[in-house]
Amino acid sequence: MADISDVFFVDGMRTPFGRAGEKGMYWNTRSDDLAVKATIGLMERNAAVPKDRIDDVAIAATSQTGDQGLTLGRSVAILAGLPQSVPGFAIDRMCAGAMTSVTTMAASIGVGMYDVALAGGVEHMGRHPIGTNADPNPRFVAEKMVDPGALNMGVTAERIFDRFPHLTKERSDRFGMLSQQKAQRAYDAGKIQPDLVSVAIKDADGAWGLATEDEGRRPQTTMADLAGLKTPFRPHGRVTAGTSSPLTDGATMSLLAGGGAVKELGLTPKMRMVSFAYAGVQPEIMGIGPIPSTEKALRKAGLTISDIGLFELNEAFAIQVISLLDHFGIDDDDPRVNAWGGAIAVGHPLAASGVRLMIQLAAQFAERPDVRYGLTAMCVGLGQGGSVIWENPHYDGKKRK
């Protein structure tokens, strides 16, 4: 009889994130090879885990076509040199793909079916822009189930401004500017780089190079710069490129294990999963999705928002993060929130981003033994939210100034 088990985030690594498109560093790199690179890097760093002990590999992608098709978990496992006895599969929950990879594997570990698993995501938005080859059912619009604008994420972000007039463009611009500054400070302090796997890349002329850091950062961004940007989703709108996550390519991978495997293999986990939840909202205003999913996750954990000492919130759009903070009574610039910047600065390769949040939270936990609980949360296309609450194994109960 299998035992119910704790679930631990043992480790996570990712590729540097690149700008999508012909000028981006991964234009000549295959999507599945990005996932392979992240997997190899993670397994090399965790050599105490025998490769044949991996029970399953879950890899998410939003556009499962071309080099992001073919049951990614299985194909990447083979390409990364895992034994052929290791199975794998693919997942799609749009932006929360990697998060869903993690929670799906965690559920299998939690009920004692798996001991060790890999979970991650990849998105090559240069090769596979969101919605490519998708054919939404005409009933969505014909039967007024979903407004046509609900399939355009920028339009849904504009609608958050409409619904909450006190969440101003100026607040959104300031949040975007601070994300760039925080990400650069984290880079300058060497906080991001340890969890990045370098990737060999080839430019348009066939010259080889090495991708070692996130490509799209703009640390010099000012409020004046942001005030002058166009509003592509609506004339005289409030969402701009400076307050949105850029189109991005990249891959993430995490190693999860149950309590028994942690002891047996002598592992040192970085986080323990406390609870997770997903929720649906109106697709037309999908950005508020993490509000109900966070409320559900807190209820399941028996916690309140005041118990959360660190937040890693995916910055699909600045207004989307601000709407969650406002709901829970948290200041826009609360130091607990996205301390090392977020997707506005480093990018959001859709299905990969959930594990990036976890990687950054885990690294901050190691620096903050005064913090017991952290939250990773994100909005999801078609009107969803996903949230995972984690406990810090380094927590010592001592308050720090």
Cα gap 301→296, rounded to integer Å: 9
The torsion angles phi and psi of 184, rounded to 5 degrees, stand at -65, -40
The region that residue 359 occupies, defined by phi over 0 for left and psi between -120 and 50 for alpha, beta otherwise, is: alpha
Three-state secondary structure string covering 174-187: HHHHHHHHHHHHHH
Cα gap 347→33, rounded to integer Å: 19
Encode 298-334: b = buried (16+ Cβ within 10 Å), e = exposed.
beebebeeeebbbbbbbbbbbbbbbbbbbbbebebee
The catalytic position among 95, 124, 236, 327 is 95
Cα dihedral angle (185, 189, 192, 193), rounded to 10 degrees?
Answer: 130
Question: If DSSP codes are grouped into helix, strand and coil, which group holds residue 147?
Answer: coil
The catalytic position among 128, 166, 348, 394 is 348
Q: What does the DSSP assignment read for 148-171?
A: GGGG-HHHHHHHHHHH-TTS-HHH
Q: Is 95 a catalytic residue?
A: yes
Please give the radius of gyration of the chain, using alpha carbons only, rounded to the nearest integer. Answer: 20
The catalytic position among 128, 236, 327, 379 is 379
Estimate to the nearest angstrom the gap between the alpha carbon of 223 and the chain centroid. 26
Q: Is 128 a catalytic residue?
A: no
Q: What does the DSSP assignment read for 214-243?
A: -S---TT--HHHHHTS--TTSTT-S--GGG
Q: Is the dihedral of CA 128, 91, 151, 248 positive or negative?
A: negative
Q: Is 379 a catalytic residue?
A: yes
Cα gap 108→104, rounded to integer Å: 7
* Structure tokens, 50: 């025998």
* Structure tokens, 281: 């909202």
Estimate to the nearest angstrom the gap between the alpha carbon of 234 and the chain centroid. 27
Q: Which residues are catalytic?
A: 95, 348, 379
